[in-house]
C-alpha cells in the first residue's frame, strides 16, 4: 500500500502544512460586506485567540500541480507549548505530527518512517524566522509576527493593512475593520520571491472571540529540484477551547527509519 502522503514527498507535505500550519477555505464563504473607509487608520486593533487548550477536528485538501488528496485531521494544542495532529483517510490512520518549541516531528505510519525538522533549517530555507510561535499563530489566525513600532499602518481596499518586515521578508496583514480579525496574510521573500499566503474566513463565535473555521494556504518557493507550488484547503468541523488538560500521546516505534 502506498503512503497516504506520496502525492507529495513527506518532507514537502510537512513543510507546506506546518509553515502555514494552518487554517482556511473558500474566501466566498460567510463573507460579510465591509464598507470602504477613505482614510488610513492611525492605529490597528487586532482580535486574537487566546486559550489554555484547543481540540479540533478538520477536513484538509492538499493539492499540487499533479494530484489532490482529501484527509481528515485530529488536532490538539496546548497554548505556547505543543501542537499534536493525526491524519487519516477513510478511517485509516496514515500519519501524525508533533510540533513543540524544539522541533517538528512527522511520522508516516504507512511507510514506517519519520522526519525531524529543526527550526533553524526551515528558517534558513525561507529566510524568515520560523519557530513554534509562528506556526501556532498561523494555525489560529493570529499575527505571525508581533507588532513593532516600525510597522506601517495603512489601507488596502476594504481592509486595514499592517505591513511588517523580518529580514528580507515583507509581511502584509489585511484586517477586517469591523470584526478586527485578520483575513489575509502574505509573506514575500525579496530575493527569491518565495511566497506564503494565508486566507481566513467563516468566522464563528468561539468562547468570547471569533475563530476562522475555514482557511486556504498557498505556498510558492524554489528548491534545487524546481519550483514548489502547493495549496491546502482547511475546514474545521469542530473546535473546542478550554483549560481542561489534554493528552498528547506520541511515540515512534523502534523499527521506523529516520529520513
Q: What are the pLDDT digits (tens) for 33-61? A: 555 444 667 889 999 999 999 999 999 99
Residue 105, domain member (yes or no): yes
Nearest to 144 by CA among 21, 3, 17, 6: 21
- Which letter does DSSP use for residue 15 in this model? H
Residue 247, domain member (yes or no): no
Question: What per-residue confidence (pLDDT) applies to 22?
Answer: 36
Given a contact cutoff of 8 angstroms between Cβ atoms, the answer to whether 171 and 164 are in contact is yes
Can you give the residue range of the structural domain that contains 189? 10-26+37-242
* Residue 6 predicted with pLDDT over 60: no
CATH number of the structural domain spanning residue 100: 2.50.20.10
Residue 135, domain member (yes or no): yes
Residue 5, domain member (yes or no): no
User: 241-252: per-residue pLDDT in tens?
Assistant: 999 999 999 999
Residue 106, domain member (yes or no): yes
What pTM was estimated for this model as a whole? 0.82
Helices (H) and strands (E) in the chain, counts: 3, 14
User: 207-225: per-residue pLDDT in tens?
Assistant: 889 999 999 999 888 777 7
Residue 152, domain member (yes or no): yes
For the chain, how many structural domains are there in total?
Answer: 1
For the record, the C-alpha cell of 189 comes out as 521573500
Amino acid at each position: 500500500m502506498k503512503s497516504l502522503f506520496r502525492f507529495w514527498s513527506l518532507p514537502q507535505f510537512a513543510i507546506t502544512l506546518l509553515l502555514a500550519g494552518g487554517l482556511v477555505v473558500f474566501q466566498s464563504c460567510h463573507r460579510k460586506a465591509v464598507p470602504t473607509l477613505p482614510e488610513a487608520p492611525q492605529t490597528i486593533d487586532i482580535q486574537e485567540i487566546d486559550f489554555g487548550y484547543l481540540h479540533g477536528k478538520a477536513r484538509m485538501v492538499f493539492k499540487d500541480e499533479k494530484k489532490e488528496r482529501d484527509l481528515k485531521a485530529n488536532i490538539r494544542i496546548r497554548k505556547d507549548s505543543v501542537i499534536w495532529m493525526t491524519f487519516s483517510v477513510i478511517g485509516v490512520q496514515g500519519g501524525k505530527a508533533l510540533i513543540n518549541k524544539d522541533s517538528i516531528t512527522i511520522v508516516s505510519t504507512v511507510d514506517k518512517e519519520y522526519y525531524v525538522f529543526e527550526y533553524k533549517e526551515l528558517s534558513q530555507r525561507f529566510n524568515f524566522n520560523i519557530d513554534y510561535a509562528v506556526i501556532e499563530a498561523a494555525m489560529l489566525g493570529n499575527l505571525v509576527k508581533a507588532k513593532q513600532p516600525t510597522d506601517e499602518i495603512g489601507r488596502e481596499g476594504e481592509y486595514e493593512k499592517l505591513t511588517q518586515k523580518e529580514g528580507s521578508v515583507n509581511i502584509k496583514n489585511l484586517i477586517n475593520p469591523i470584526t478586527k480579525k485578520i483575513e489575509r496574510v502574505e509573506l514575500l521573500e525579496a530575493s527569491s520571491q518565495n511566497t506564503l499566503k494565508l486566507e481566513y474566513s467563516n468566522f464563528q463565535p468561539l468562547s468570547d472571540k471569533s475563530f476562522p473555521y475555514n482557511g486556504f494556504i498557498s505556498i510558492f518557493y524554489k528548491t534545487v529540484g524546481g519550483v514548489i507550488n502547493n495549496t491546502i484547503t482547511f475546514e474545521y468541523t469542530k473546535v473546542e477551547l478550554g483549560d481542561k488538560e489534554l493528552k498528547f500521546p506520541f511515540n515512534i516505534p523502534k523499527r521506523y527509519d529516520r529520513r
